[in-house]
Structure 1
Amino acid sequence: MGKSLLFLPDISGFTEFVQTTEVEHSQHVISELLEVLIAANTEELQLAEVEGDALFFYKENDVPSLERLLALSEHIFTAFYSHLKLLEKNRICPCSACSSAPKLQLKIIAHCGELQFLTVQNNRKPFGSEVIEAHRLMKNSVDSDNYVLFSKELANTIGLSGNYQSKLYKFEEGTDIYDGKRLDYLFSVIDNNNLKLRSFLTANKVVFNKPPSFILEQEFPVSAAELLETLTNYGYRSKWKEGVDEIIFNVNEVTRLGSEHVCVVNEKHLDFVVITKEVKPGQLVYGEMTKSPVPLDALYQFYIITPLSADRCKLVLEMYLEAKSPLKKLAIFLIVKAVFKKNVAKGIDTLFELLSSKNAVSETMYVK
């Protein structure tokens, strides 16, 4: 039996992040990041388990070369921090989970040895002393939360020396005692400035040289942040959006600039993308547009939220209906605008009732 690789990317700061931020959005952020780490697996490693904030990969009877392991590690760090930059730049949510996500870091622990396996409910998983050692190495004394660590066993197997240096890696020797047993390792703190982060599209602020087709206003008995969360959480849409049969979206993604969702109305699919526009300081804004509404060429809607107090805010909805042909413009003037305004107004009224009743229930529970 040959040696196998054990490889564990671990998100640093996970416990504090989850405990001190909004639960739902923190779950979404971590879920996205874990998906990014899984997708960055270029060595066809097997995923044994998702361990909360870490992934437990292995490669049976095969240990990739030094060059391949260093390339894999760099690829994973690059993917991770590229996604954090995306979350930071395209963020629209002001909650502490979304605002503090860019502070998360990553460490990678790698080990090798002969593996044993057990099967539980048809799931085959590694176990034994090497698995224990790999997990022990996750609790090391490296003075950083952003590094790659190779056990001495793995370093000897792939020919990694303690003086290895490159533009990204500067390995040092380390050692710790676990249950009376000494475990040696080599580690390199990662300087993110040496990573070539991937570029991504950022949504430009939309500017109009004309007034909205119509405007609706409504005060809500909730905080500005809660109203924004309700508007941007597509799972709530069918509860208040008038005439919507279904919303198709990525349930594990925090809504941000560039996020997409599909609104199904009378079996017709409207493809929306999240956009933004300039608003006054202190205001929150959520915008979306679609180029698939009939008979229009484009529809833009912006929900602009102004905090009035800790538990009260004002919503201004601006709707822009666009058409190029004279016939479509005439249809907007005579019929379409009135129909849209009526349906949107109903939706806002339903949203007000939904949040008012939710707020009343919360207050009753608190009083009791």
Structure 2
Amino acid sequence: MSNSLLFIPDISGFTKFIQTTEAEHSQHVIAELLEVLIESNTESLELAEVEGDALFFYKEGIVPSQERLLAQIESMFTAFYSHLKLLEKNRICPCNACATAPNLQLKIIAHCGELQFIEVQGNRKPFGKEVIEAHRMLKNSVDSDNYTLISKKLASEIGLPIYYYSKLFKFRQGLDTYDEVETEYIYAIINQEKLSLKPFSSPKKVDLPNSPELVSTINIPVPAEILFEFISNFKYRHTWAKGVDKIEYNHNEVNRLGSEHMCVINEKHLDFVTVIKEVKKGQYIYGEYSTSAPVIDSFYQFYTITPINKTTSQLYLETYLNSKFILKKIITTLVIKKIFSKNLSKNMESLAKEATKFHQNNTRTT
């Protein structure tokens, strides 16, 4: 039987990250990164299992060439660190999970051997000695959390020299003992600066020259960071956004600059993009921009949160209504502005009530 490839990308720092950061956002960050790694699978590898912070891939009966294997490894490191850079640059959330996500690292273990399979609830999965060996090599003596490790068996199979050297890879020998059996491997610590990270859109802060058409201020007995989470997390929007029938968004993504969501109101679909603008130090800002509202060419809403003390925040809401043509401006002034003003009052009252309830419920459970 031909050898098969076993391939395990593993996110380093996952346990510490989960234990010391906000659970929901840390889960979203890890889920995004795992999806990015899956999407960067250039070798048609089969995904056997998602193992918390790791992915277990295999390629039955085939071991890619040296060039293709190294290209696959580079592809995953590039995708991983490109996404971390996106999370860092487009972050709006002040929580620890979002702030510390750029500290995560990646290691990739590659091995080969003859595979056996078992079937579990209709799913065929690799099983046996080689699978155990591949997973054992995750626990090694490499003095880094950011590397690729290739078993000596796989290196020999594809003719990869022990001291192979390139712009990204500089391999060294390694040896560890598992259950009194020595396992040889080669490994290369990955320098992130050597990766050609993928470009991404990084929206700039909004600078509006005009004053807002509508403003509203309210004090809410909720800490600033918790109030920010309640407002910016679409998961809670339905509890306070009156008149909104449905909100569609990416459930596995942390809201950030450029994130999109859609509100369905009376069967009309309004598309929104997350934006921010400059605020004073110590304040939190969340904004939304849309060009799909009837009559109005574009409008912005900004929620500025100012901590009053550790338990209370001031929420300042600004609404900008922009219409280019005279007729639209007249309709906006006489009709649209009144509708917005009426809904604004209701939503602010509802937001304050539901945010307070949200905070009280979270306080009881922690």
TM-score (normalised: structure 1): 0.98
Amino acid at match of 1:57: F
Residue 309 of structure 1 aligns to a residue in which SS?
coil
- Structure 1 residue 224: Cα displacement: 0.7
Question: In the alignment, is the contact (CA less than 8 A) between 2:276 and 2:286 conserved in 1?
Answer: yes
Amino acid at match of 2:248: I
CA offset digits 1:122-160 (Å, max 9, x no partner): 000000000000000000000000000000100000001
Residue 342 of structure 2 aligns to a residue in which SS?
helix
CA offset digits 1:94-135 (Å, max 9, x no partner): 100000000000000000000000001100000000000000
The answer to whether the aligner puts 1:173 opposite 2:176 as a matched pair is no
The aligned runs of 1:211-250 (5 Å cut-off) are: 211-250=211-250
Distance 1:120 1:265, change over 3 A: same
Question: In the alignment, is the contact (CA less than 8 A) between 2:226 and 2:359 conserved in 1?
Answer: no
Task: Name the CA distance, whole Å, in 2 between partners of 1:365 and 1:224.
Answer: 19
Structure 1 portions without partners, runs of 5+: none
The answer to whether the aligner puts 1:111 opposite 2:107 as a matched pair is no
Task: Name the CA distance, whole Å, in 2 between partners of 1:363 and 1:276.
Answer: 29
Distance 1:112 1:360, change over 3 A: closer
Task: Name the CA distance, whole Å, in 1 between partners of 2:344 and 2:202.
Answer: 28
Corresponding residue number in structure 1 for 2:254: 254
Task: Name the CA distance, whole Å, in 1 between partners of 2:224 and 2:365.
Answer: 22
The answer to whether the aligner puts 1:151 opposite 2:189 as a matched pair is no
Root-mean-square deviation (CA, aligned residues, Å) is 1.1
Amino acid at match of 2:33: L
Distance 1:365 1:106, change over 3 A: closer
Corresponding residue number in structure 1 for 2:30: 30
Moved over 4 A (4+): 360-366
CA offset digits 1:223-249 (Å, max 9, x no partner): 111111011110111110010000000
Task: Name the CA distance, whole Å, in 2 between partners of 1:60 and 1:349.
Answer: 59
Amino acid at match of 1:171: F
Corresponding residue number in structure 1 for 2:92: 92
Amino acid at match of 1:331: I
Corresponding residue number in structure 2 for 1:83: 83
Residue 43 of structure 2 aligns to a residue in which SS?
coil
Amino acid at match of 2:154: L
TM-score (normalised: structure 2): 0.98
Corresponding residue number in structure 1 for 2:48: 48
Task: Name the CA distance, whole Å, in 2 between partners of 1:283 and 1:306.
Answer: 5
Question: In the alignment, is the contact (CA less than 8 A) between 1:203 and 1:276 conserved in 2?
Answer: no
- Structure 1 residue 25: Cα displacement: 0.3
Corresponding residue number in structure 2 for 1:335: 335
Corresponding residue number in structure 2 for 1:290: 290
Task: Name the CA distance, whole Å, in 1 between partners of 2:104 and 2:120.
Answer: 33
- Structure 1 residue 357: Cα displacement: 2.9
Question: In the alignment, is the contact (CA less than 8 A) between 1:258 and 1:275 conserved in 2?
Answer: yes
- Structure 1 residue 360: Cα displacement: 4.4
State the percentage of identical aligned residues: 58
The answer to whether the aligner puts 1:201 opposite 2:201 as a matched pair is yes
- Structure 1 residue 355: Cα displacement: 2.0
Residue 280 of structure 1 aligns to a residue in which SS?
coil
Structure 2 portions without partners, runs of 5+: none
Question: In the alignment, is the contact (CA less than 8 A) between 1:261 and 1:271 conserved in 2?
Answer: yes
Task: Name the CA distance, whole Å, in 1 between partners of 2:21 and 2:215.
Answer: 34
Distance 1:5 1:315, change over 3 A: same
Question: In the alignment, is the contact (CA less than 8 A) between 1:249 and 1:261 conserved in 2?
Answer: yes
- Structure 1 residue 353: Cα displacement: 1.0
CA offset digits 1:165-200 (Å, max 9, x no partner): 000000000000000010000000000010011111
Question: In the alignment, is the contact (CA less than 8 A) between 1:242 and 1:344 conserved in 2?
Answer: no
- Structure 1 residue 363: Cα displacement: 6.0
Amino acid at match of 1:305: I
Task: Name the CA distance, whole Å, in 1 between partners of 2:12 and 2:279.
Answer: 35
CA offset digits 1:258-292 (Å, max 9, x no partner): 00000110111101000111111111100110000
Question: In the alignment, is the contact (CA less than 8 A) between 1:262 and 1:271 conserved in 2?
Answer: yes
Task: Name the CA distance, whole Å, in 1 between partners of 2:222 and 2:273.
Answer: 26
Task: Name the CA distance, whole Å, in 2 between partners of 1:359 and 1:73.
Answer: 44
Residue 208 of structure 1 aligns to a residue in which SS?
coil
Task: Name the CA distance, whole Å, in 1 between partners of 2:136 and 2:357.
Answer: 50
Residue 243 of structure 1 aligns to a residue in which SS?
coil
Corresponding residue number in structure 2 for 1:130: 130
